[in-house]
């Protein structure tokens, strides 16, 4: 304002106004073309001072925050009727000198918006770096909470109600209202957040993810409103805390945090070890892989992953817009299947496997998902057959599948699981090298090499549709009964 020598008139201070956009209009009533938050510029062409009150009232009702009136060539000064109307309706008013083009005001406002956006992005980037260092260092839970409070220039409170643990930093205000909001967030099994504004501060509460389906929440507060950068920083902290909700000794391990991060970001075939530590489970525990279908808009990725994590009770979930994969502890599988069915999700669930050997589980879950497509409900590998498979005589089908696939399973177990999984994926994708390679996370030439090896072992023509059908049913049957 001072840079362009704009002179404020009236009682309202224009420096307190946040301007979303600058608009120029000489219409007698421009309000139908405005959305609110504008600085409206006019030179007075066609302006009637005696209509100032009605003019300003319409602009105020639309949400215009300020008027810039250019003096000369129409008016030598801002009409006093306009000044009085702006004072009556609390509208900021600026006198624009004759030598200042309206374009200069538009350019200055745009530059300020860019500067503010750059400032927010830098603050968010710096805040992310601070939180990541805290999460990877000693005492990460407390360190993340302390850094978060410092970055917000306020306070932070994190709660793990499953183990009756809390971490806090700053002058925490935990009155009855905040406590009730935290309790609701802890009890929720789906994404949940709430906000509270007082004369002193703004408070936000949100649910966090953890190894249990519920029981984790965070409250943060700052004196001013939460900016875009503040919300981004809170989001980064929430992600880090969700990964760190394990026993303190495990949470302090950078390897444990790394394993949890990899589980959330990379494809399943890379996740063959160190699952127990991030999820606070026994090292000799067993795990299942869940593969399912979920077709949602890509823009909802974060919300979808949070929903799936809450439903399955694990943060180890990936989703590509059409299907999802999760690693879940070997808890009662009937309850898991019930939850998937109630959510309307077609999914296949593998048998339980040790954390160090999850590769076979990927294929098992894929076979079970095929059964789910046929039967219209979640299927667990190794349970009773579904669909056409249920029509076959079990002993005869089992002997035939064993005899047909025997050459594949005569090689070392690790190689046989790899080859069987490749064959299943290749058949499921109708012999497409590219789609099979994408499904397995390997190069298409690797798929070609494995299929040539399978063809040699089985001594069958895989281009024959009858051979493909027999192999498909044999693989399906073996996955159902083993």
How far is it, in rounded angstroms, from Cα 404 to Cα 336? Answer: 33
Q: Which domain holds residue 143?
A: 136-247
Same domain, 165 and 266: no
Same domain, 289 and 415: yes
Same domain, 154 and 238: yes
Are 284 and 299 spatial neighbours (Cβ–Cβ below 8 Å)?
no
Helix then strand count (H, E) for the chain reads 16, 16
Average pLDDT, the chain: 78
pLDDT value of position 458:
86
pLDDT value of position 61:
92
- Residue 27's pLDDT band (cuts 50, 70, 90): very high
432 against 304, higher pLDDT = 432
Same domain, 239 and 267: no
Same domain, 374 and 286: yes
pLDDT value of position 117:
63
Task: Give the residue-averaged pLDDT of 34-57.
Answer: 92
**Tokens at 196, concatenated:** 């509270």
Tell me, yes or no, whether 365 lies in a domain: yes
Report the candidate in 342, 328, 410, 409 with the shortest Cα–Cα distance to residue 377: 342
Tell me, yes or no, whether 353 lies in a domain: yes
**Tokens at 308, concatenated:** 């799936």
79, pLDDT greater than 90? yes
H or E element in which residue 160 lies: strand 154-160
**Tokens at 480, concatenated:** 């159902």
Are 326 and 314 spatial neighbours (Cβ–Cβ below 8 Å)?
yes
Long-range contacts (CB closer than 8 Å, 24 or more residues apart) made by 453-460: 453/419, 454/408, 454/419, 454/422, 454/423, 457/407, 457/408, 457/410, 457/411, 457/419, 458/404, 458/405, 458/407, 458/408, 459/407
* Whole-number Cα distances in Å, 103 to 25, 42, 326, 464: 13, 12, 55, 72
Tell me, yes or no, whether 129 lies in a domain: no
- Residue 481's pLDDT band (cuts 50, 70, 90): very low
Are 343 and 324 spatial neighbours (Cβ–Cβ below 8 Å)?
no
Same domain, 227 and 288: no
Are 334 and 377 spatial neighbours (Cβ–Cβ below 8 Å)?
no
Tell me, yes or no, whether 113 lies in a domain: no
pLDDT tens across 89-131, in order? 989 999 999 888 888 888 877 777 667 666 667 778 888 888 8
Report the candidate in 132, 160, 167 with the shortest Cα–Cα distance to residue 146: 167
Domain count, the chain: 3
Tell me, yes or no, whether 127 lies in a domain: no
- Determine how β-strand 92-96 pairs with β-strand 66-70: parallel
Same domain, 467 and 329: yes
Same domain, 374 and 280: yes
pLDDT tens across 407-431, in order? 887 887 667 778 888 888 888 888 8
């Amino acid at each position: 304002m001072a840079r362009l020598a704009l002179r404020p008139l009236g009682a309202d201070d224009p420096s307190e106004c946040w301007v979303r956009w600058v608009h120029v209009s000489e219409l007698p009533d421009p309000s139908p073309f405005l959305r609110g938050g504008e600085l409206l510029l006019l030179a007075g062409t066609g302006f009637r001072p005696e209509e100032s009150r009605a003019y300003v009232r319409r602009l105020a009702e639309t949400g215009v925050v300020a008027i810039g009136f250019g003096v000369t060539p129409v008016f030598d000064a801002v009409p006093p009727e306009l000044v009085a109307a702006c004072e009556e309706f609390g509208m900021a008013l600026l006198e624009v000198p004759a030598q200042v083009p309206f374009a200069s005001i538009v350019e200055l406002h745009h530059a300020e918006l860019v500067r503010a956006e750059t400032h927010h992005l830098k603050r968010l980037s710096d805040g992310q770096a601070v939180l990541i260092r805290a999460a990877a260092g000693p005492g990460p839970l407390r360190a993340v909470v302390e850094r978060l409070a410092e970055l917000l220039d306020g306070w932070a409170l994190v709660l793990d109600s499953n183990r009756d643990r809390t971490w806090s930093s700053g002058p925490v205000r935990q009155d009855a209202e905040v406590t009730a909001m935290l309790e609701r967030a802890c009890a929720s099994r789906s994404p949940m957040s709430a906000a509270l504004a007082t004369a002193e501060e703004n408070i936000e509460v949100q649910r966090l993810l953890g190894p249990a389906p519920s029981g984790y929440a965070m409250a943060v507060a700052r004196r001013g409103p939460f900016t875009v950068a503040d919300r981004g920083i809170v989001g980064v902290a929430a992600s880090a805390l969700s990964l760190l909700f394990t026993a303190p000794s495990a949470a302090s391990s950078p390897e444990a945090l790394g394993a949890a991060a990899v589980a959330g970001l990379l494809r399943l075939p890379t996740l063959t070890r160190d699952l127990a530590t991030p999820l606070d489970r026994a090292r000799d525990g067993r795990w299942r892989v869940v593969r399912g279908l979920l077709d949602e808009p890509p823009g909802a990725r974060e919300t979808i992953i949070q929903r799936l994590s809450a439903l399955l009770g694990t943060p180890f979930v990936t989703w590509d817009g059409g299907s999802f994969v999760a690693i879940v502890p070997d808890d009662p599988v009937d309850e898991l299947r019930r939850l998937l069915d109630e959510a309307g999700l077609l999914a296949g669930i593998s048998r339980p496997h040790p954390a160090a050997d999850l590769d076979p589980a990927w294929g098992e879950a894929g076979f079970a998902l095929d059964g789910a497509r046929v039967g219209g409900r979640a299927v667990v590998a190794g349970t009773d057959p579904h669909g056409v498979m249920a029509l076959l005589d079990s002993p005869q089908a089992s002997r035939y599948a064993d005899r047909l696939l025997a050459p594949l399973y005569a090689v070392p177990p690790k190689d046989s699981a790899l080859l069987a999984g490749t064959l299943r994926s290749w058949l499921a994708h109708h012999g497409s090298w590219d789609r099979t390679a994408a499904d397995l996370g390997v190069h298409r030439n690797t798929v070609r090499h494995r299929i040539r090896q399978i063809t040699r072992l089985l001594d069958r023509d895989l281009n024959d549709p009858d051979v493909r059908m027999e192999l498909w049913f044999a693989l399906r049957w073996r996955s159902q009964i083993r």
